[in-house]
C-alpha cells in the first residue's frame, strides 16, 4: 500500500501537532506512523480515503505503555518532539 510522509516542527505543542496530523489525514488518508527526524516530527499516512472529521487521530503523551482509551483503538506509537522535548506519543482513532 502506498504511503506519504510529511514533516512538522518538533517545537509545536501537542494540540498543534494533533491539529496538523488531523489536517494531513484529510489530505493523504489515515495516519500509520509517527517518528522524528532532526528537529521535526515525521508523519506517515496510508494514501487512501480520509477518515471523516469525527474519526481523525487524536494524540496523547504517555510513559511506559500507551493506555487503553475506551471507545478508541490505538493506531500507532512513536517517539516524537513535543514543545521541543522528546516524548512518547500515542495516536488513537475513535471506533466506528
Q: Give DSSP secondary structure letters for 64-77.
A: SSPPP-TTEEEEEE
- 7: domain range? 3-94
Residue-wise pLDDT for 2-49, tens only, equals 999 999 999 999 999 999 999 999 999 999 999 999 999 999 999 999
Give me the phi and psi of 69, to 5 degrees please.
-120, 120
Question: What percent of the chain has pLDDT above 70?
Answer: 100
Closest CA to 90 of 48, 57, 46: 57
Cα 94 to Cα 38: distance, rounded to the nearest angstrom: 31
Per residue in 3-16, pLDDT (tens digit) is 999 999 999 999 99
Residues 45, 43: Cα–Cα separation, whole Å = 7
Number of domains in the chain: 1
Amino acid at each position: 500500500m502506498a504511503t506519504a510522509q510529511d514533516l512538522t516542527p518538533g517545537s509545536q505543542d501537542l494540540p498543534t501537532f494533533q491539529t496538523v496530523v488531523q489536517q494531513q489525514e484529510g489530505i493523504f488518508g489515515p495516519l500509520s506512523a509517527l517518528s522524528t527526524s532532526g528537529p521535526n516530527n515525521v508523519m506517515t499516512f496510508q494514501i487512501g480515503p480520509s477518515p471523516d472529521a469525527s474519526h481523525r487521530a487524536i494524540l496523547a503523551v504517555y510513559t511506559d505503555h500507551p493506555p487503553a482509551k475506551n471507545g478508541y483503538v490505538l493506531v500507532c506509537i512513536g517517539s516524537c518532539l513535543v514543545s521541543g522535548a522528546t516524548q512518547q506519543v500515542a495516536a488513537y482513532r475513535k471506533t466506528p
